[in-house]
């Protein structure tokens, strides 16, 4: 074998030995994030074995600072606010459970009303997205979300808008709760 070939063989063997050593002495994974059952078993095992034992005996992992609520450092960020100025006009749409209905009082006052309902869905803790918009003259049932943006216009051109919250009937969620048993 030539000099360069021997060096290549030695380097390959050295890398193989290092890799094998690392694999043998590597700490095992604590939790397999793909398997929920294994994750729960591992957590239970850690609790029983006394890992973080002081936490399970009433100890506290993080010390919370003791802050005076009315201290000058905090109060400098508090500014007096004037009273809320709410419209005297009653809502045109009322949410009852998972159904948004155009109120009879609004119909009596403004005539025929057309409302557009757009589902609002939270994609995560920081972002929302809008869903399909449905236009109706009577009522709207929540199906894709518990929140809906409502924009209404009367036959005379008067407008009203708001964001409403309700509780939709989601059979998949209901089945997972086990409350019906």
- The whole-number pLDDT of residue 52 equals 56
Above 70 in pLDDT, residue 57? no
User: What CA–CA distance (Å, rounded) separates 47 from 30?
Assistant: 13
CB 122 within 8 A of CB 110: no
Counting residues of the chain whose pLDDT is more than 70, the rounded percentage is: 86
Q: How confident is the model at residue 46 (pLDDT cuts 50, 70, 90)?
A: confident
CATH number for the domain whose boundaries are 93-174 = 2.60.40
More confident residue, 48 or 121: 121
pTM as predicted: 0.54
| CATH 2.60.40 residue ranges for the chain | 93-174
């Amino acid at each position: 074998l030539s000099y360069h070939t021997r060096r290549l063989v030695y380097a390959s063997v050295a890398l193989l030995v290092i890799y094998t050593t690392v694999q043998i002495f590597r700490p095992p994974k604590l939790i397999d994030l793909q398997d929920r059952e294994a994750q729960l078993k591992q957590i239970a095992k850690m609790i029983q074995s006394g890992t973080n034992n002081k936490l399970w005996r009433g100890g506290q992992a993080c010390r919370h600072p003791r802050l005076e609520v009315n201290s000058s450092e905090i109060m400098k960020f508090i500014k007096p606010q004037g009273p809320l100025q709410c419209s005297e006009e009653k809502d045109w749409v009322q949410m009852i459970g998972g159904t948004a209905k155009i109120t009879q009082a609004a119909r009596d006052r403004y005539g025929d009303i057309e409302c557009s309902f757009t589902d609002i869905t939270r994609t995560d803790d920081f972002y929302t997205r809008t869903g399909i918009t449905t236009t109706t003259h009577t009522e709207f049932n929540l199906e894709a979300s518990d929140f809906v943006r409502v924009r209404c216009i009367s036959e005379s051109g008067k407008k009203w808008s708001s964001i409403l919250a309700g509780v939709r009937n989601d059979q998949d969620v209901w089945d997972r709760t086990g409350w019906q048993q």
